[in-house]
Structure 1
């Protein structure tokens, strides 16, 4: 009686091994059978189904049916993800985005539309950059949201950089930035300073007229004045903008040297760091000022 559990366990193990052997034998038989019969004579037909709604234009068309700003934002995110337009659809898409912008109450949605303008202009074949720039200028003209204006200026910087040879357009964009410098937001001010420094048309020194030189001096003074701004981020961006102008070939006047030196004692490190770069630059160009 004491050996009964042991006998039962041995019996169970034997059944398991026997079952495993049977299954193995069956599997081997099935394999041999399929191997001997060869491959099936049936042909596979692969059909590529069209992607429904793969074009961003389909999503743009749904904007007018959105019942809330959240729905509109989600739709805009989907447009941004696929960003596939037929060339013939681009202008109509821009028009519909503009219409929604003007009726949209939430600033985050308006920001996203201006962001899309930038993406469309840079990535979509058939996009008219001049048209996108004009539309962006128009949309931010009466805008009240600082975030929307800042994004609009950022879009103008990106799109404008693709048309930098158009001096008339660049001067117009600089004028837009100068108009928006009066905005109370540091973010808007910084974007405007960035646009001026990156897009202001600079002629080769040998080709500059007295009028061009005088105008360039006005721009340098404008940027220099904003290095006195109350917000440290604006002061930092103003000095950065002066550096960018120099890197692009505009000679900075020695008259700003003392002012830049004073910024070395600014309360904020971000300002001191950029000011130090300017001091080094001006000190090398005008060594007599370092005495």
Structure 2
């Protein structure tokens, strides 16, 4: 695995881990808001072992990637970042997008100028989602803006937010998603402007925009829903499948919104199976 830099929209520096054979079918993984490229668990390694070239991205404003100078993290700008990476790869790309990353991937694949998309996987994201569930995510993100005195305090905050998961015992993995400031406090590795109340309203795009994009996608399409998702309820999945009737649909049991983190093996199996059918067969 190597670290590679890409130039995103407006020249924002984007960082990604790249794994797998250089000539393999390309797959770009785009994490959710408030996460980093480390959120996919073992999925990236599994894709590389299957012969895919996996490009595991830190979105702008997250992880090691640059922050947007204008603090614009709307889905259209993120979609332009995906287009820039796809252009640099100069080949068809499959997109795997979770939550906020999934909305961006949907626009990149379904709006002009559309990327040359060989497959699209949306991970627990649909045009219409639960407002209460989205607010839970925002509240958790805002709750850590002042930082944590220790990694153990950060782990305790995660456990309160995700009580269905076993408590974090080894904080070394968690540390990849935080940065330590000059004041010694640990803060999540993303731009606080992501949850600025004035700017957050810009994310409330009309869901018909995403439904139109979904209807325009001609590549093989898969929706992966967490079986216990607090954001994508069964009626939201049904509404999506009504506008994208050719899409495949998988539920990962006992997983909430962060499907890859909750049930990584089941999630990876679903993704790998779909990509083998879409890109290899």
- TM class by smaller structure: under 0.3
Structure showing the higher strand proportion among its residues: 2
Structure showing the higher helix proportion among its residues: 1
Q: Tell me the TM-score normalized by structure 1.
A: 0.27
Structure with higher Rg: it is 1
